[in-house]
Amino acid sequence: MKIYHLETLIKFGVYNGKTLQQVMSIDKPYIEFCLNKLEHFVITEETIRMYQMINPTFILSIKAENALREKIKKLKDLFEQEDDNDWDEEDGNEHPKDSYGSSGTKYGWYNGFSDDVIDDAFEGDPSNTWNVD
C-alpha cells in the first residue's frame, strides 16, 4: 500500500505524472475508483480534509469511504504487527533495542544520560558528558 498526499505524483493510469490534488480537482470518480479497486492506493483522512479546505464540495461516496477505512485499518494492523515483532520470540523478552537507554542505576542518570549512553558514547566515564549541550 502507498499513502498518497496532495503533492504525491500519480505514477499509473491515465493521470500518470499528475499530483493527487490535480486529479482530485478534475476527476473525483477516478479517485473513488482507485480507492475501491486498487489495493495499493490509500489517501489519509487528513489529506482529504486538507483538500476539502480548497474544495469544500469534495465528498467521497460511502463505498469509497468504506474502502478507505478498511485500508487504513489494514495499515494500522500492519504497524501493530511490526511493533509486536520487537519481542524476542524465543524467550519472550523484549528486543534489546526496546530497553536501550532505560536504566540510570549505574551512573544515576548523570547529566540526564542513561547508563547505556554513558557506556557507549562517553566511554563509560560520566565526566565526559560535561561539554554536551
Task: Report the C-alpha dihedral over residues 84, 88, 91, 93, rounded to 10 degrees.
Answer: -80
Q: 7 in a domain, yes or no?
A: yes
The 10s digit of each residue's pLDDT in 72-84 is 998 888 877 766 6
DSSP 3-state assignment of 87? strand
Rg (C-alpha) for the chain, rounded Å, is 24
Q: Average pLDDT, whole number, for the chain?
A: 83
Q: What pLDDT was estimated at residue 100?
A: 56
Residue 93 has pLDDT above 80, yes or no: no
What is residue 17's DSSP assignment?
A: T
Residues 17, 78, single domain; the answer is: yes
Per-residue cell: 65: 469511504
Residue 67 lies in a domain: yes
Whether 63 and 121 map to the same domain: the answer is no
Grid cell listed for 24? 482530485
Domain assignment of residue 117, given as a range: 103-131
Residues 12 and 68 in one domain: yes
In 1-133, beta strands by DSSP E: 2-4, 41-43
Task: Please indicate, yes or no, if residue 54 is contained in any of the structural domains.
Answer: yes
The answer on 109 and 76 residing in a single domain is no
Distance CA 47, CA 21 (A): 9
Residue 97 included in any domain? no
CA-to-CA distance for 100 and 94, rounded, in angstroms?
A: 10
Look at residue 93 and tell me if it is in a domain: no
**Does 77 lie in the same domain as 123?**
no
Domains of the chain: total? 2
Mean pLDDT of 77-97: 61
Examine residue 94 and state whether it is found in any structural domain, yes or no. Answer: no
Structure confidence at residue 12 (pLDDT): 93
Residue 9 resides in a domain: yes
Q: What residues contact residue 112 under an 8 Å CB cut-off, 6+ apart?
A: none
pTM of the model: 0.60
Residues 8 and 72 in one domain: yes
Q: 6-51: per-residue pLDDT in tens? A: 999 999 999 999 999 999 999 999 999 999 999 999 999 899 999 9
